[in-house]
Structure 1
Amino acid sequence: MTRGPHRIPGPRDLSTRLLGAILVVVLVGVATAWVVVAGIGPAIFHVHMMQMGGSNANTTVHAEEAFRTASTLSLAVALIAALGTSVGVSLFLARRITRSLIPVTAAAGRVALGDYTARIPSVGMGAEFDDLTAAFNTMATDLGRIEATRTKMLGDLAHEMRTPVATIGAYLEAIADGVREADSATLAVLGDQVTRLSRLSEDISVVTTAEEGRLTMHRQDLAVTRIVAEAEAHATAQYAAHGVTLRVRTSASANIAVVDADSDRIGQVMTNLLDNAVRHTPSGSEVVISAFVTGTHAAISIADQGDGIPADHIGHVFERFYRVDASRDRAHGGSGVGLAIAKSITEAHDGTIRVESAGIGQGAIFTIELPLIARAPGARSNVPSSANSVVEGP
């Protein structure tokens, strides 16, 4: 666990307040002793001097007695005053601290019982208590969010698994009843459903690991042109099978751009985005991959001519299991977490991802941006361009 920076005690810190309370006790004792010594001691001493006779021995005896009496009385009064002040201040602070800890204990008990709406009010007992209050309230908020996400994820996961499990069950029952034969077609259907469940499990594992910051990555200097070329190469056969043309447009600045990234992870982002694009693009249309540089970031966009996204759905497309058209996506075998994975991996690279769409039937543009680490003047990428690649101006 990472510790926060050491903070120099300030006037509102509990330690400073306790020190102040002790100083009050000491000062009261000192002040009382001074008042007694300055006001009472001389008077007692004077009385004894007036009572002495002319004898030097009597003078000495009375002087010593005056000193002892004045000192004893001064110390006794001072100690009594200091003791009374100390007890009073200690009782006051103890009651304040106890009253301040009561809502902490109550809120902790509510959180332990699953009530993540519990919060600790500010108690005004110093910066330490304020830090404790802020940390507890933040923890309760995070736990509530995690619990809500977990509940939603489990519900969505159960919903996603229902269809393939039901299909497998129905086919197995039909085979057992002799209604269907365990022929190659039936086995193919069962294999597809098992593959779908396996892919769903893997996708959930990846997105959960990424969102928790535990994603293993091997980052290196990676040319943007290499990212685009590898993505195009992996998707070409799939696009040809769907009758969709895949084109690449690379600006001159992107052609020399380099980012710090994990090749496999960024390739997974590109694969998920290209899979999403081809599922929503009709045969005979095209999808365009564009690479360019904007400020201190390299950007890669994937624009399709497909279904488009309504404005009220734009803010939700990167959520797990969220679908603009649930029935259509399930028919095309999407797990529902591909875009969530793309978002998590991109953000793990300190990048951003966004989507734009003019509406239904107007297609969509997904864009990822990654921080640049080098743009050497005149440098060229060693990744060859394909026949569908076009190098544009800056």
Structure 2
Amino acid sequence: MLNKLSWKVASIFFIFIVIVEVLLFSVLYTNLVSDQVDEVLDGLLARGNSHRDVLEKSFDDITLNHVALMETEAATDVIITNNEGEILSKSTAATDEITHLIKDNDYQNTRHIGRVIEEKWRSAPYIATLSPIVVEGEMMGHVYMFSPSDSVQQVVHELTRQFIIIGLFTVLLTIITLFILTRFLTLPLLHLKQTTERMSMGETNISLEMTKRKDELGELAVAIQTLARDLEHLKNERNDFLANIAHELRTPLTYIKGYADIASRSSLTSKDREHYLKIIKEESEQLTMLVKNLFALAKMDQNQFSILPEQVKLCDSLDKVINRLHPVFEEKEVRLELECPEEVEGWVDPERFQQVILNLLDNALKHSTAGGTIQVSSNKKEGRAVVKVRDEGSGIPSEELPFIFDRLYRVDKSRSRASGGSGLGLAIVKEIIRLHSGQISVESSLGNGTTFIIDLPGGENNG
């Protein structure tokens, strides 16, 4: 059974093709009918001119009777008149219609050539021609040729019958052809539709044979199969994301509940209770930061994360961040250096830019050891502002580098609390840089530290 698309495609093509066929058949039919009628009229006139030629050579009773006798065995009739319109010889009885035609056309033709005097084959009983008889320059009479209109109508009817048969055969052939073509075109589309319905129901492990085609349907099949793979990847990422969120939420909540139970014991000393309350506070802050980061990512996904860029001297912003973090770095005995030419400017949101640098420095500090150095530098490159944050930590394995900006991804698969962080910081950094029309990349190898490279719009009129 044809599907809806097949019906629509077939109907549109059928209507269009039938209109074209009707126009072509109409023109062809009209021309053929006209040619057939003209052929009959020309033949009748030629026969009359032939009789006229004989009579002009011998205009006597014997010849007149001979001409009339010849037409008695033919489908046509002849009537020969003198110059006064009197009938000299005839092959048929002069009916009222014939008499009327003779009276209307007698004496009117003074030319030496014949002509058609009646061509209304649809309504008149006869078609007729007139051929003047001229002997030595003197008009001697006229040869009237008559043919029943039925002969012309029979030719036209036969032609019409043939056209109807051919037309019906053409329509039938058109329907069959359209049926085959629409099925050939729409069956792959129907298969693709069924595949997308399976995808909408959650099935993403699909394989389409149409990907081997070298046409638009093949390209569409490739696109759908690629979409299915992307959906499978997104589904896996969503499941991992939910599992990671559950883990990240469960860990601080477990600590808070456990230490709250311990702190509530009456036998606990004040010093121990203060210690456990401090841990509860730290875990609460960790939980608060996690929720805050999740809300920030949600706003980014919904395009509700506001970025208000302006022309900023990056050295000033970097200096503010470093001054805020110096006590923390000194406590861990990690050196923090800034290398920034004063002329470096960027088209950034100052608050969001500082948030990016804070995240990167916090991440670098967590992976640095005492005595290490973290360097922040900036420079201009081809009208862009480039900021680098480099540490001397343990580095990141090369196989992990493509995933470090993924949400809740951490190189430390054990998720030990010593490594800190929730795995959202770098994801937020990447989104903020993207919203600035910038790019962030990372270079790292085990034992040689890590360098984050930020490329931002720089100079004037970049908004």
TM-score bin, normalised by smaller chain: 0.7 to 0.9
Q: What code does the residue aligned with 2:259 have? A: Y
1:228 matches 2:318 = yes
Q: Which residue of 2 aligns with 1:247?
A: 337
Q: Which residue of 1 aligns with 2:164?
A: 76
| RMSD, aligned α-carbons | 4.0
Q: Distance in 1 between matches of 2:19 and 2:214?
A: 20
Q: What code does the residue aligned with 1:107 have? A: T
Q: Distance in 2 between matches of 1:96 and 1:236?
A: 72
Q: Distance in 1 between matches of 2:397 and 2:220?
A: 44
Q: Which residue of 2 aligns with 1:320?
A: 407
Q: What code does the residue aligned with 1:351 have? A: G
Any conservation in 2 of the 1:249–1:288 contact (CA below 8 Å)? yes
**Identical aligned pairs, as a percentage?**
23
Q: Distance in 2 between matches of 1:124 and 1:38?
A: 47
Change (3 A) 1:218 1:90: same
1:371 matches 2:457 = yes
Change (3 A) 1:326 1:81: closer
Any conservation in 2 of the 1:257–1:298 contact (CA below 8 Å)? yes
Length, aligned pairs only: 357
Q: Deviations over 1:33-67 (max 9, x none)?
A: 74896599739975997633336654252365246
> Is the deviation greater in 322-331 or in 337-346?
322-331
Report the alpha carbon displacement of residue 292 of structure 1 after superposing the two structures with TM.
1.0
Change (3 A) 1:221 1:141: farther
Q: What code does the residue aligned with 1:366 have? A: F
Q: What code does the residue aligned with 1:221 have? A: Q
Q: Distance in 1 between matches of 2:329 and 2:390?
A: 14
Q: Deviations over 1:52-94 (max 9, x none)?
A: 3336654252365246425633542353134223322332234
Q: What code does the residue aligned with 1:343 have? A: K
Any conservation in 2 of the 1:29–1:79 contact (CA below 8 Å)? no
1:210 matches 2:300 = yes
Report the alpha carbon displacement of residue 125 of structure 1 after superposing the two structures with TM.
11
Q: Distance in 1 between matches of 2:158 and 2:347?
A: 82
Q: Which residue of 2 aligns with 1:301?
A: 388
Any conservation in 2 of the 1:26–1:82 contact (CA below 8 Å)? no
Any conservation in 2 of the 1:219–1:261 contact (CA below 8 Å)? yes
Q: What code does the residue aligned with 2:20 have? A: V
Q: Deviations over 1:250-270 (max 9, x none)?
A: 14xxx3233322222221111
1:335 matches 2:422 = yes
Any conservation in 1 of the 2:439–2:454 contact (CA below 8 Å)? yes
Q: Deviations over 1:151-182 (max 9, x none)?
A: 11112222223321221222233345656468
Any conservation in 2 of the 1:306–1:363 contact (CA below 8 Å)? yes
Q: What code does the residue aligned with 2:236 have? A: A
Q: Which residue of 1 aligns with 2:75?
A: 51
Any conservation in 1 of the 2:263–2:277 contact (CA below 8 Å)? no
Q: Distance in 2 between matches of 1:368 and 1:191?
A: 34
Q: Which residue of 1 aligns with 2:327?
A: 237
> Is the deviation greater in 292-301 or in 54-63?
54-63
1:160 matches 2:154 = no
| TM-score for both structures, normalised by structure 1 | 0.75
> Is the deviation greater in 284-293 or in 115-124?
115-124
1:173 matches 2:261 = yes
Q: Which residue of 1 aligns with 2:71?
A: none
Q: Distance in 2 between matches of 1:126 and 1:22?
A: 25
Task: Provide the secondary structure at the position in 2 that maps to 1:167.
Answer: helix
Unmatched 5+ stretches in structure 2? 1-7, 45-73, 79-91, 93-97, 99-124, 127-146
Q: Which residue of 2 aligns with 1:199?
A: 289
Q: Distance in 1 between matches of 2:212 and 2:412?
A: 50
Any conservation in 2 of the 1:196–1:333 contact (CA below 8 Å)? no
Larger Rg: 2
Determine which structure has greater relative contact order: mean sequence separation of CA pairs < 8 Å that are 6+ residues apart, divided by chain length: 1
Report the alpha carbon displacement of residue 196 of structure 1 after superposing the two structures with TM.
1.0
Q: Deviations over 1:16-45 (max 9, x none)?
A: xx7699448835973697489659973997
1:278 matches 2:360 = no
Task: Provide the secondary structure at the position in 1 that maps to 2:340.
Answer: strand
Q: Which residue of 1 aligns with 2:20?
A: 26
Q: Which residue of 1 aligns with 2:355?
A: 268
1:143 matches 2:240 = no
More strand by share: 2
1:88 matches 2:176 = yes
Any conservation in 2 of the 1:303–1:366 contact (CA below 8 Å)? yes
Report the alpha carbon displacement of residue 216 of structure 1 after superposing the two structures with TM.
2.4
Task: Provide the secondary structure at the position in 1 that maps to 2:337.
Answer: strand
Q: Distance in 2 between matches of 1:72 and 1:123?
A: 50
Q: Deviations over 1:175-203 (max 9, x none)?
A: 45656468333222112112111211222
Change (3 A) 1:226 1:175: closer
Change (3 A) 1:272 1:134: same
Any conservation in 2 of the 1:211–1:344 contact (CA below 8 Å)? no
Change (3 A) 1:315 1:146: closer
Q: What code does the residue aligned with 2:76 have? A: M
Q: Distance in 2 between matches of 1:180 and 1:154?
A: 37
Q: Distance in 1 between matches of 2:169 and 2:34?
A: 16
Q: Distance in 2 between matches of 1:45 and 1:74?
A: 19
Q: What code does the residue aligned with 1:88 have? A: I
Change (3 A) 1:133 1:196: same
Q: Distance in 2 between matches of 1:148 and 1:286?
A: 38
| TM-score for both structures, normalised by structure 2 | 0.65
Q: Distance in 1 between matches of 2:283 and 2:250?
A: 11
Change (3 A) 1:181 1:37: farther
Unmatched 5+ stretches in structure 1? 1-13, 376-394
